[in-house]
Amino acid sequence: MRPWHFRLGLFFFSLLCLLTYGPSAYAQDPPSRVALLHIDGAITPMMANYLHRGLQQAQREQVNAIVVQMNTPGGLSSAMDDIVTDFLQSPIPVIVYVAPPGARAASAGVFITYAAHIAAMAPTTNIGSASPVFLGPSGEATSPDQTMRQKVVNDAVAKIRNLATLRGRNADWAEQAVREAVNITADQALQLHVIDLIAPTLPDLLAQVDGRVVKVATGEVVLHTRDAQVIPISMSLSERFFQLLTDPNIAYILLSLGMLGLFFELANPGGVLPGIIGGILLLLGLFALGNLDANWTGVLLMAFAFLLFLADVYFPTHGALTVGGIIAFALGSFLLLSSPASPVFQVSRLVIATVVGLISGLFVLVVLLVAHAHTRQPATGREALIDQIATVREKLDPEGMVFVMGELWRARSINGPVDVGERVRVVAVEGLTLLVTPELEVGSPGHLPTLAPASLERGWRPLARRLMQSVIGVRSSRV
C-alpha cells in the first residue's frame, strides 16, 4: 500500500471514531447542586413562609437535594405543621442537619427532623423535649383537664409515630419525646436510630449521603451530593424584619412604645408625629403578638394602664390614677407572654423590669409637673393681677388710676386716700376695677413676702415647666 493511501485511510478512521465516540467520551454530567436553607430561632409563621418559598425556589433551580440547617428551641405547632407538610410533599430530598455544634432541635424541631428524608446532626448537639404546650383562648399556658391533655398528647404521638414509620426511624423514642419530654445527644440519637448520621461539617454531610436512595413524593431518588455546589437561599429583607418582630422582647417593647406614642398624641392633640409613630409601632407589636399567640388579657391591661395615665393628666386625682396605671402595666407585662412551659415565648424579666421602671418614672414625673403647674401663680388673665404691685398715676380718693403690668387700670383704695407716685398692692378685682391697698414695707406687720420674678426663673423649675409644656401641652395659667 502506498504511503498516501495509508495516511488517507488513517484520517478517515480517526474521523469515524471521533464522530462515533466523541460525544460520549467528552460529554460530562452537569455538576450537582444543593440548596441550603437555615432555621435559626423559633418556629413561627414567618419561618414557615420562608421555608415554603425556599423549597419552591429550589425546585425551580432543579437542585439535587435541599439541606435545612436547624437550630431551634421550638415554636408554634401551626407553623410546624406547615413545614412538615412541605417536607412530605417535596419532590426533592430534604436533609435536616442540626448544626452548628451546640445547636438543638427541641419541641417542634423534633417533628421537623423526623419529617425530613434524611436526618443528620453535628457533634455536641441535642434533640428532644417535644411535649406539647397547652394554650388557652387568650394565649396563656393552661392546665387542661386530664381528658383534654390526653387527646392533645395522643394526637402529637400519632403524628410523630407516622413520621417515624414513614422515614424508618425510632418511633418508640419519638413517643417518649412527646410524652416524657426526653432529650438525647447526637451520639445517642445515632445509636437509637433517631437520626441517620453524624457529620461535623456540611461537606462531610454531603459526602456521606452521596449515593443514598430516598423515597420522595414522586418516587425514589438517588442522591448525588459529593462535592456539590451549595446554593444558599436566605431570608429576604422583609422576612428577616418580620421574623425579628416575633422575638417576644421586641414585640413587648414595640407595644409599649406604640401605646406611649398614642398617649403623647392624645395628651397634646395636634402633635401628629407622636401619633403616627405610635400607631405604626403599635400595629407592628400587635402583628408580632398575633404570631406568638399572646395573652390578650395582658394587652388589655397595658392599654388600660395608659388610659389611667392619660386621665391623671386632666383630672386632679393627686397621682392615684398613675399608681393604678403602673400596677396595671406591670401586671399586663408579666401576663403578656409568660408561658412557663414554653420559654421560647417568654419576655425577659430584665426587659420587663427596665420598661416598667422607665414608663413608671416618666409618668410620675409628668404627674409631678402637672401638680406643680396647678400650684403656680397665674401668669395671664385677671387672676394674674392679684398681689401685683402698682403705681398710682391718679390720686386714689378712693378711686383713681394705677399702672400695673404695663397697663392703666381704674382702681379703688380700701384703706384711705393714696397720693400719686405711691405704690399699692392689688388685693382683688371687681369687674374692671382693681381693689388696692397701700404697699406694706418689708418686715412690717401683716407683710406678705413675695417671690421675686427673677428667682422664679432660676433653678430647675423653669426647665421642668418648659419640659412639661412641650411634652404634654399643659398650660401654667389657671382660669
Q: Which of 14, 151, 215, 348 is catalytic?
A: 151
Residue 420 DSSP one-character state: T
CB of 125 closer than 8 Å to CB of 178: no
DSSP H helices, 246-318, are 248-267, 273-291, 296-314
Indicate if 107 belongs to the active site: yes
Backbone angles phi, psi at 361, to 5 degrees: -60, -40
Tell me the residue type at 450.
T
d(CA 280, CA 164): 45
- Cross-strand pairs, 120: 97, 197
d(CA 252, CA 330): 12
Backbone angles phi, psi at 232, to 5 degrees: -70, 135
Using CA atoms, how far residue 130 sits from 95, 114, 439, in Å, is 20, 12, 86
Count other C-beta atoms under 10 Å from residue 406's C-beta: 5
Give the relative orientation of helices 349-375 and 296-314 as an angle to the nearest 10 degrees: 20
Grid cell of 339 as nine digits: 408561658
Count other C-beta atoms under 10 Å from residue 150's C-beta: 11
Grid cell of 466 as nine digits: 418648659
Query: Strand, coil or helix: what is 89?
Result: helix
Indicate if 78 belongs to the active site: no
Phi-psi region of 63 (alpha: psi -120 to 50; beta: other; left: phi over 0): beta
Count other C-beta atoms under 10 Å from residue 120's C-beta: 27
The burial of 405, by beta-carbon neighbours within 10 Å (0-12 exposed, 13-18 middle, 19 or more buried), is given as: exposed
| Residues comprising the chain, all counted | 479
CB of 158 closer than 8 Å to CB of 84: no
Q: Which of 14, 24, 77, 107 is catalytic?
A: 107
- Cross-strand pairs, 404: 407
Residues labelled catalytic = 107, 151
